[in-house]
Every structure is written in C-alpha cells, then in structure tokens.
A and B are shown apart, each in its own frame.
Chain A
Amino acid sequence: MVATSTEFVIERPQGWLGRVLEFARRNPTVVIGTSILALMAAVAVFAPWLATDPLFINPIDRLKPPSKEFWFGTDHLGRDVYARTVFGTRISLTVGLAVATFSTAIGLAIGLVAGYIRIVDAIVMRIMDGLMAIPGILFAIALMALFGSSVQNVIIAITVPEVPRVVRLVRAVVLTIREQPFVEAAVASGTRLPRILVRHILPNIFAPLIVQATYVCASAVIVEALLSFLGAGTPPEVPSWGNMMADGRVYFQIKPWILLFPGICLALMVLTVNVLGDGLRDTLDPRIARRMG
C-alpha cells in the first residue's frame, strides 16, 4: 500500500482504508491480537444467539463426544459444552477487563502521587508492601467465605493483590522520569504541577502501564479460572471456564473434551492478550515504532 518513490520519500497512504492497512502492515501483532479479542468480545456479547441454554441439563445425553448436534460434546450432566464455553467467554472477559481497568486506574493514581510527593511515598509504599504480603489465593478464598461467591467478589479478590504491583511499577517509572532534564525544563519554563504530571509524566508511563495492564488482564483470567477450579471463584452454576475444567477433571482420561475446549479457549485468550500487550508496547513507543516500521 506504500508508494515509495526512488528518492526514498515515503508517501502517506491516502484515505481511511489506506491508513488502516498501513497501520496493519506496520503492527501485525496489534491487529491480530485486537481482532481475536474483538471476536471473543463479540462471542461474549452475542452468546444467547450463538448457543443454546448453557444450564440446560439433559442426563440422557450426558458425556457425549463432539458431534453434529453437540459440537464440543456434553458433560456429566448432559449440558452442552459448546454453549457453556461460549457463555464462559463472558465471565473470563469481564473479570479480565474489569481487573485490568480497576487495578491500573487505582495503581496509577496512587503510584503517581507516591512517586512525585516524597512524604506520601514512604507511607503508601509500606501499605503496599503489607498488601503484597497477603497471598492472593488465600485472600480470595477468605473473601468468598465471608461474602459468598459472586463474579463481583472474584473481581475484587483479584484486583486487591494486583494494585501494589501496578503502584510499584508506576512509582518506579515516575521516579526515573521526574529526574529527567525535560521535567526540569518544564519546571524552568513555568509549568504547573498538574500539567507536569499530565503532559510530561503520564505519557511516558503509558507504554509500560499498558503492557502491565495486559499482563494483569491475562493473569486475572487465569486466576479466575484457578479460583473457580478450586471452587472458590464464580458460583458453580455459572458457566465459567474454570468451573467447567473442574467438572471435566474427573473424566479427563476418558472424556477429554469437557476439559479440553474451555482449556483451549483459556490458553488462546491469555496468549492473545499477552501478544496484544507486546504489540501495543512497541506501537506506543514512538522510538521503537519507527525503527520497526
């Protein structure tokens, strides 16, 4: 799509489509990752139209292998594994995105302040150290025992241990950026503190933060599945991939499809999110982006 003349002048592609294709050519990982994730999001949103009732129990059809009627087979209660996998996308995607959003938002706010204001730093970081000392899984189990299992509680249980990690990252980046001469230059030219934080510090945190957010998202998806697998996550009647894998565990050697399909979906989602994160990091950093282009 790029018209390159003999004088090495790269002309900007014309039109909306041209620019999109040019972007796709330069950043294949971002485009592939976004596409798969968008597909998963679409599946999650349109689940009721794509599959039958995931909770419908039909003991006559139990433990059926994949067939024309049941694409992914059925489980020990005769529930359609395909329908449950499709609906499970909702849980995983919701938990992953919610945890990533909340933990980065909270972590960014705390980290920015801690990194720039020295007095706050000491206090906040000790609290964060304390939070990090709590084992995530134990915390989740305790929370479930106290407040009962629900998707909302799962999100809270995963977000809380993730926040200190984000805070540490943001604070570390802020500490290096605040010493950069361009921040001094901004101070010297009369820039006020809020503007320094927003215009000079924040944009330079963005790249590592986005990457961190995708890793948080990926790990949240895994932790949710793990908690569900242990029975401390989403309620058993909710079709989440972790619950399905827990159900299928007993039958794995003879009826592997019950565990296999949600497992594949889980792996695909985590991989996609991680690939997307790496792609975004390269794209968001203008220096690396130009070199790769």
Chain B
Amino acid sequence: MAPSDMAPSDMAPSDMAPGDMTPATARAATNGDAETVLEVQDLKKFFPVKRGLLSSTVGQVYAVDGVSFTIRRGETLGLVGESGCGKTTIGKLVMRLLEPTAGVVKILGTDITAVSGRGLRPYRREMQMVFQDPYSSLNPRMSAGAIVREPLKNYGLDGGSIGGEKQAEALFARVGLKREHMAKYPHEFSGGQRQRLGIARALALNPSLIVADEPVSALDVSVQAQVINLLMDLQVEYRLAFLFISHDLAVVEHISHRVAVMYLGKIVELTDKRTLFTTPLHPYTEALLAAVPVPDPEISRQRLILEGDVPSPINPPSGCRFHTRCPYAVERCRHEEPPLIEVQPGHAVACHLREVGAPPIKLEKRASATA
C-alpha cells in the first residue's frame, strides 16, 4: 500500500504525543509488545584493524559494543553522541548495510539477524533510511521521479508508467515538491529539496521504521527546521517510528520522544526527552548539555567542561569507558564496567555513582580523580 492510499488521520490525537508518556508506559515499551517496531539487543560491531603486507588483523575497533533499545510505532528515539561514538554504525546495522558482529535486531517482532541476502527483502520494505548527505545519496544520473519510483519498482508496486507516475506525484506532493520536479535531476535541486526527495524515497514503500542518519546536519539552519517539521508531520500521519541519529542536541530535543546518549560504542543513558534535558544522571550527558550554547550572554552557568580527547575505540579504557574524562570518577570506575540499569522508572543510566532508586542529586567533583 502506498502512503497516498492511506487515510491521513487514522489515529486518535491522544496517540500522537508519546513524548508526554508516563515513565510506566516508557518501561512497557522495552518489553516488546505488539507496538514495538524495532528491538535491538546487545548489538555489537567490531571492525578489524589490518596492517602490513599480508593484512593481518592487529586489533579491533569496538565501534558498537553491546547496545540495546526498542522503538515503538509513532515514536522517535534520538541517538546522540560525539562523532566516532558509533551512532551511524548502529543505523547501518539496523538497516543491515553492515553485518553485525553479534546481537539481535528484531523488526516487528521478527529476528532478522540470521536472515541475509534475498531473504532480507521483505524486511527492507519495513525499514527505510534518510541519509546524511543529500548530495551523494541521490544518483546523479537518475531523474527525481525515477529515484522516488525505484523502491516501488523493486517490489513490483510501481503499477506501470501511469500508476507509478501517480504514486510518485503523491509522494512529491506529500514532501512539498512540485510535479514539475519529477523530470529534474538531483543537481538541479537545492539541499533542502534534495533531502525532501530522500524522504519521499524513504516513504515510498510505506515503512514502519525510518532510520534518519543526521538528516539535517548538511542543511542550512532555516531549512533544517522545515525538514524536521516535515519529518514530524509525516510521523504523525503514518505513525512512523524514527531512529533519529544526530549530534545536534537542539534538533534531538525538538524531534525526539526518548533519547539515548552514546559514548564510545555504548549507550550511557537512555530516558525520555524531558527527563534527559532536565535531570541528566550520567556525567557525560551532563557535560554534553553544558556544551550547548545558550543564546543569552547574561546567563552565567556552572559548566562541566570535559578535558582531553575521546579515547580510541581500538583500545577503549578499562572499566567505565568514560572514567578517563569523568570529574567524578572513583576507583571502582577504573576496573568495573557499569551496566545500563534503570535507576528511576524509565530512566536507564550506566554509572556506578547512580544507584537504583537514588535521588538525582548533583555529584561532587573529585580533585584527586583526575590527578
């Protein structure tokens, strides 16, 4: 069924704001109910580091090291973190553009980790991707209409030249492009229009999940807002699940219902948007939020500024991966890796200093910890 065939308002308004859900429902979402579109369990991806004439493996890049999360229908999970922390790799693993080293990816309840090649095709329909670079993600030698119609053709849904044309037209209209644009080539479009084209392509198969890998980071700020709002409208209309990968906290705060914070291939904190931005529990999240510029010079804040660089994912630190830069680190952090546990209902964090049920108080800096 093409999105154009779908009634745009087949859902009650009360379903539309998962961001306002109570912690109880947030917890329910992790238990794999019928509404769960994507479930990721202990996903791992290691890239071998090869060196020398015979390209022998000398080490591994722990790009993604044991990540679990779920996304429900109509929900956006924001995935934030510094560049190189494994966000994009997760997106590609979910899309199966990369083969996972270990772990389970379930689409609509079906484990697709063991499925490969031709068998993946029915599942690819359910998950589509919007790419970061609107320039290189569109084939320069295909017309805009052909680009949007290609997914339909792949699944025999094109319905001949007239039917395909109509479907493409509806998709173009839905993302705010004109009918005349169909005969044009990607280089004739602006960045924002190209990203709309990419979104139309992702919508063509009427998927359940859209993985958006930094979809607006290549766009001007004014255009960013338009594209983000378009994505949010489409989400409501088609009850899409989004895995929204970004390094831009402002964008993530705007679009997400829940947010996962990543550091060196691991999720360090996962909770609903409001809680994360008001009471972050992980020191890394705290530092990330402190780094967001505030457009008011009068406000002076006590900021947590991180020192040093992100350690290499080839040789990640022992214990808690963040302990080398954490101002609160204690001896235990160096040896023992903290698991991601739910300390408050619907609020999971991987930190030794946060215990289950403990109040979200501010942590004390330790001068000795950095020495």
Please report which residues of chain B, range 175-202, place their CB below 8 angstroms from some CB of chain A when the two chains form the complex.
Answer: 185, 187-188, 198, 201-202
Q: Which residues of B contact A191 (CB under 8 A)?
A: 150, 154
One digit per residue, 1 when the CB lies within 8 angstroms of any chain B CB and 0 when it does not, for chain A 195-219 equals: 1000110011000000000000000
A181 interfacial by beta-carbon distance below 8 Å: yes
Residue on B nearest A189 in the bound complex, by CB: B151
A189 touching B124 by the CB < 8 A rule?
yes
B204 touching A189 by the CB < 8 A rule?
yes
Specify the main secondary structure of chain A where it touches its partner.
helix
A189 touching B141 by the CB < 8 A rule?
no
Please report which residues of chain B, range 323-342, place their CB below 8 angstroms from some CB of chain A when the two chains form the complex.
Answer: none
B128 touching A189 by the CB < 8 A rule?
yes
B6 interfacial by beta-carbon distance below 8 Å: no
Which of A186, A190, A290 is in CB contact (< 8 Å) with B155?
A190
Residue on B nearest A183 in the bound complex, by CB: B139
A182 touching B150 by the CB < 8 A rule?
no
B139 touching A182 by the CB < 8 A rule?
yes
B141 touching A204 by the CB < 8 A rule?
yes
- CA distance in complex: A189, B202 (Å): 8
Residue on B nearest A291 in the bound complex, by CB: B187
- CA distance in complex: A220, B40 (Å): 58
- CA distance in complex: A199, B154 (Å): 12
A185 touching B137 by the CB < 8 A rule?
yes
Residue on A nearest B98 in the bound complex, by CB: A184
Q: Which residues of A contact B185 (CB under 8 A)?
A: 286
Query: Shortest CB–CB separation between residue B124 and chain A, in angstroms?
Result: 4
B201 touching A181 by the CB < 8 A rule?
no
B29 interfacial by beta-carbon distance below 8 Å: no
A126 interfacial by beta-carbon distance below 8 Å: no
Residue on A nearest B133 in the bound complex, by CB: A181
One digit per residue, 1 when the CB lies within 8 angstroms of any chain B CB and 0 when it does not, for chain A 130-158 equals: 00000000000000000000000000000
One digit per residue, 1 when the CB lies within 8 angstroms of any chain A CB and 0 when it does not, for chain B 120-146 equals: 010011011101110011111110000
Which of A185, A195, A204, A286 is in CB contact (< 8 Å) with B131?
A185
Query: Shortest CB–CB separation between residue B195 and chain A, in angstroms?
Result: 12
- CA distance in complex: A195, B202 (Å): 18
A199 touching B142 by the CB < 8 A rule?
yes
B154 touching A190 by the CB < 8 A rule?
yes
A188 interfacial by beta-carbon distance below 8 Å: yes
- CA distance in complex: A286, B188 (Å): 10
A68 interfacial by beta-carbon distance below 8 Å: no
A286 with B140, Cβ < 8 A, contacts A185-B201, A190-B155 known: yes
- CA distance in complex: A102, B219 (Å): 46
The listed residue with most B CB atoms (<10 A of its CB), out of A181, A189, A287, is A189
A184 with B131, Cβ < 8 A, contacts A189-B201, A286-B185, A286-B187 known: yes
- CA distance in complex: A188, B98 (Å): 11
Query: Shortest CB–CB separation between residue B214 and chain A, in angstroms?
Result: 12
One digit per residue, 1 when the CB lies within 8 angstroms of any chain A CB and 0 when it does not, for chain B 84-96 equals: 0000000010010
- CA distance in complex: A226, B95 (Å): 56
Q: Which residues of B contact A58 (CB under 8 A)?
A: none
Q: Which residues of B contact A199 (CB under 8 A)?
A: 139, 142, 150
- CA distance in complex: A167, B207 (Å): 39
Q: Which residues of A contact B187 (CB under 8 A)?
A: 286-287, 290
Residue on A nearest B121 in the bound complex, by CB: A190
A187 interfacial by beta-carbon distance below 8 Å: yes
Query: Shortest CB–CB separation between residue A196 and chain B, in angstroms?
Result: 10
Please report which residues of chain A, range 171-195, place their CB below 8 angstroms from some CB of chain B when the two chains form the complex.
Answer: 180-182, 184-192, 195
Query: Shortest CB–CB separation between residue A203 and chain B, in angstroms?
Result: 4
B1 interfacial by beta-carbon distance below 8 Å: no
B131 touching A181 by the CB < 8 A rule?
yes
Query: Shortest CB–CB separation between residue B118 and chain A, in angstroms?
Result: 8
A188 with B140, Cβ < 8 A, contacts A286-B185, A290-B187 known: no
B205 interfacial by beta-carbon distance below 8 Å: yes
A182 with B138, Cβ < 8 A, contacts A190-B121, A286-B187 known: yes
Please report which residues of chain B, range 188-244, place their CB below 8 angstroms from some CB of chain A when the two chains form the complex.
Answer: 188, 198, 201-202, 204-205
- CA distance in complex: A287, B136 (Å): 13
A286 with B154, Cβ < 8 A, contacts A181-B131, A188-B129 known: no
A181 touching B204 by the CB < 8 A rule?
no
- CA distance in complex: A218, B173 (Å): 50
Which of A187, A195, A287 is in CB contact (< 8 Å) with B97?
A187
Q: Which residues of B contact A181 (CB under 8 A)?
A: 131-133, 136-137
Residue on B nearest A185 in the bound complex, by CB: B137
Q: Which residues of A contact B202 (CB under 8 A)?
A: 189
- CA distance in complex: A200, B146 (Å): 12
Closest 9 CB pairs of A and B: A189-B151, A181-B137, A203-B141, A190-B154, A190-B124, A182-B139, A181-B136, A188-B129, A181-B131
Query: Would you list 10 pairs from A and B whose C-beta atoms are within 8 A, ordered by A residue?
Result: A182-B140, A184-B92, A185-B198, A189-B204, A190-B124, A199-B139, A199-B150, A200-B139, A203-B139, A286-B140
Excluding A189-B150, A191-B154, A290-B187, 13 further A-B contacts by CB distance (< 8 Å) are A181-B132, A181-B133, A181-B137, A182-B136, A182-B138, A185-B137, A185-B201, A188-B128, A190-B151, A190-B205, A204-B139, A286-B140, A286-B185
Q: Which residues of B contact A (CB under 8 A)?
A: 92, 95, 97, 121, 124-125, 127-129, 131-133, 136-142, 150-151, 154-155, 185, 187-188, 198, 201-202, 204-205
